[in-house]
Amino acid sequence: MPIQTIETQPFSDQKPGTSGLRKRTERFAVPHYVETFVQSIFDSLEGFRGKTLVIGGDGRYFNDTAIQRIIKIAAANGFGAVKVGQGGLLSTPGASHVIRHSRAFGGIILSASHNPGGPDGDFGIKYNVGNGGPAPEKLTDAIYAHTKTITRYLTYDVPDIDLSRLGVQQVRGMTVEVIDPVADYAELMQQLFDFDRIRALFASGFRMQFDAMHAVTGPYATRILEDLLGAPKGTVINGVPLPDFGGGHPDPNLVYAKPLYDLMMGPDAPDFGAASDGDGDRNLIIGRGRFVTPSDSLAILAANAPRAPGYAAGIAGIARSMPTSAAADRVAEKLGIEMHETPTGWKFFGNLLDAGRVTICGEESAGTGSNHVREKDGLWAVLLWLNILAARGESVDDIVRDHWATYGRNYYTRHDYDEVDATAATALMAALRERLPTLAGSRLDGKMVASADDFTYLDPVDGSVSGQQGVRLIFSDGSRIVFRLSGTGTVGATLRVYLERYEPAHGQHDLDTQSALAPLIAIAEAVAGIRARTGRDAPSVIT
Ligand code: G1P
Ligand code: ZN
């Protein structure tokens, strides 16, 4: 059967964002939309003939439809083999590991991460390169350029693959291997962490609840926590992935994982609570009576990583996204290791990890990970926490307080204004940028602005420069306000305002976060005119 060449036309809206192409599902359902984007990816790559492509997604509605089409396009374009997770499932970190472990040419991940799924929800397609990490900007730019000029895609008119059957099948000259999505990943986790010690912790009566939010980590968490580590059955809740995530919003934050939060703050709280998002790369960590902010979690994990066998030799350096709090910087300073501040998005960590300059990375948006893969990894963070809890024999709250006593506390919050008018949001950012030169050196509500800029990143490994990564106001006492627009939203614009203030060691560490940051919140409103420009009285989500 010959290769089919199907005529197509460019779509004007296929520019990859912070994490691949993300749109409403109905947009992806438009004829040729998926095919055009996937062919544009392949047209941007060189040297993949005969090589392996990894494919998997978070199981959301349209996952299997997209996978069947991608397999046929991959075959027609000359890939030699595809590895695909059974049922079309692979968590994002799981896919990253399979790409690395099988020395694949790259991979395609189907997910809109923490956004809701279903016919009225969101869908996404992302390409990852051979190191297992998201495509760097120069590649996503090339993909975008191809989407603007594409005229045809290649495919085969052949039956679908049976994604439920483990083992090898054939699409013309290409082999398709349906793999157990969990096996390789579980193996890797056993190399990094002290499973015996964590097993002993559970055997001693330690109680945990893990909310998989009906998303992809269900099978991973059940296998690792309950089967391999002996946590009691029922430790993992909402463990079956569903195409619409059970109607939920699979974002493990205090708004969408509220039931877990309430449990952990209640009288019968277990010792440890955790959750992960749609595609398994984010994490939520809550101890009994103690929510751990992602920025603090990054700092604590970095400080304690050598307690896990995989990091026993110490860590080379830490990287965080610019809006993430500076808590981790204090750990790096004390350890005398490198610290890097990158733009938002995991793709900027890849070069630093590949060059061995950093071992642990994190973002304030509930993303933490290490050099074991090239994506953030929700379950990895949970397992490192478990390893540290088992090794230290203290509660989450004790560990957090001890950390603040040693390093000081960075009070931190993010205020999101979702689905605001895109023109208004762009105008707000433009007005801020225009004021930058006069803001530096001025006083706002009595606080001295030490510097005001739009963050530009110079990648120390490949010398590439990324500009316009967020407006920063840094005050002379070290506190900060950062404004940026989301690159992952699918409707209108999302304005993110990040607020941070440092309280030194042995200072006041028991204030309510929003109260502790109230003066900065007021300055942010005064400087940006959020209410007047967006018509919003309050943020949609506070994390
Ligand atoms: C958001 C987060 C960012 C994360 C990305 C993908 O991007 O802020 O840290 O890397 O999702 O999970 P944003 O919508 O802010 O562009
Ligand atoms: Zn995600």
How far is the C-alpha of 90 from the C-alpha of 113, rounded, in Å?
Answer: 12
Query: In terms of residue numbers, what domain contains 257?
Result: 185-407
Give me ligand 1 centre to Cα 527, in Å: 24
Q: Tell which of 158, 181, 204 closes a domain.
A: 181
pLDDT single digits (tens) 348-394: 999 999 999 999 999 999 999 999 999 999 999 999 999 999 999 99
CATH code of the domain containing 163: 3.40.120.10
Res 311: pLDDT: 98
Identity of residue 19: S
DSSP letters of 27-60?
HHTSTTHHHHHHHHHHHT--S-TT-EEEEEE---
Separation of CA 355 from chain center: 21
Confirm or reject: Cβ of 345 under 6 Å from ligand 1: yes
Confidence label for 201 from pLDDT (cuts 50, 70 and 90): very high
Lowest mean pLDDT among 277-286, 313-322, 371-380, 443-452: 443-452
Instruction: List the beta strands (DSSP E) in 114-217.
Output: 122-128, 152-155, 167-171, 174-179, 208-211
Confidence label for 239 from pLDDT (cuts 50, 70 and 90): very high
Cα-Cα end-to-end distance for the chain: 54
Instruction: List the beta strands (DSSP E) in 201-323.
Output: 208-211, 236-237, 272-276, 283-287, 290-292, 317-321
pLDDT at 431 > cutoff 90 = yes
Res 487: pLDDT: 83
Question: Within this chain, do residues 52 and 148 fall inside the same structural domain, yes or no?
Answer: yes
Question: Within this chain, do residues 244 and 363 fall inside the same structural domain, yes or no?
Answer: yes
pLDDT single digits (tens) 264-307: 999 999 999 999 999 999 999 999 999 999 999 999 999 999 99
Confirm or reject: Cβ of 130 under 6 Å from ligand 1: no
Interval 186-200 mean pLDDT:
98
Secondary structure class of 475 (helix, strand, coil): strand
Interval 246-274 mean pLDDT:
94
Give me ligand 1 centre to Cα 113, in Å: 10
Question: Within this chain, do residues 278 and 303 fall inside the same structural domain, yes or no?
Answer: yes
In percent, the amount of the chain with pLDDT more than 70 equals 100
Secondary structure class of 502 (helix, strand, coil): strand
Could you tell me the two tokens for 112?
A: 């809109």
pLDDT at 488 > cutoff 80 = no
User: Beta strand 4-7 with 106-110: parallel, antiparallel or unpaired?
Assistant: unpaired
Pocket test for ligand 1, best of 320, 363, 495 (most atoms within 8 A of CB): 363
Give me ligand 1 centre to Cα 129, in Å: 19
Report the nearest atom of ligand 1 relative to the CA of 346.
Answer: 10
Q: Tell which of 352, 384, 407 closes a domain.
A: 407
Res 237: pLDDT: 97
Report the nearest atom of ligand 1 relative to the CA of 487.
Answer: 16
Closest alpha carbon to 353 in 335, 364, 369: 369
Question: Within this chain, do residues 303 and 448 fall inside the same structural domain, yes or no?
Answer: no
Find out whether 331 and 318 touch, Cβ atoms under 8 Å: yes
Question: Within this chain, do residues 174 and 214 fall inside the same structural domain, yes or no?
Answer: no
Interval 70-92 mean pLDDT:
98
Give me ligand 2 centre to Cα 385, in Å: 19
Separation of CA 294 from chain center: 12
Please identify every residue whose CB atom is under 5 Å from ligand 2, which is an ion: 113, 277, 279, 281-282
Q: Domains in the chain: how many in total?
A: 3
Res 507: pLDDT: 77
CATH code of the domain containing 475: 3.30.310.50
The phi-psi region of residue 315 (left if phi > 0; otherwise alpha if psi is between -120 and 50; otherwise beta) is beta
Res 254: pLDDT: 87
Q: Tell which of 181, 210, 228 closes a domain.
A: 181
Interval 72-87 mean pLDDT:
98
Q: Which-ligand-closest: CA of 251? A: 2
Could you tell me the two tokens for 143?
A: 């993909």
Res 446: pLDDT: 87
Question: Within this chain, do residues 239 and 163 fall inside the same structural domain, yes or no?
Answer: no
Confidence label for 489 from pLDDT (cuts 50, 70 and 90): confident
Question: Within this chain, do residues 215 and 71 fall inside the same structural domain, yes or no?
Answer: no
Could you tell me the two tokens for 149?
A: 């000029």
Q: In terms of residues, how long is the chain?
A: 543
Who wins on pLDDT, 137 or 190? 190
Secondary structure class of 158 (helix, strand, coil): coil
Identity of residue 219: P
Closest alpha carbon to 67 in 46, 38, 30: 38
Q: Which of 91, 111, 113, 365 is catalytic?
A: 113
Question: Within this chain, do residues 396 and 274 fall inside the same structural domain, yes or no?
Answer: yes
Res 164: pLDDT: 98
Question: Within this chain, do residues 8 and 32 fall inside the same structural domain, yes or no?
Answer: yes
Question: Within this chain, do residues 402 and 436 fall inside the same structural domain, yes or no?
Answer: no
Residue nearest to atom 3 of ligand 1 (CA): 345
Verify whether residue 113 is a known catalytic residue. Answer: yes
Confidence label for 19 from pLDDT (cuts 50, 70 and 90): confident
Question: Within this chain, do residues 472 and 374 fall inside the same structural domain, yes or no?
Answer: no
Looking at the DSSP assignment, which residues form a beta bridge with residue 457? 466
Residue nearest to atom 10 of ligand 1 (CA): 345
Question: Within this chain, do residues 387 and 434 fall inside the same structural domain, yes or no?
Answer: no
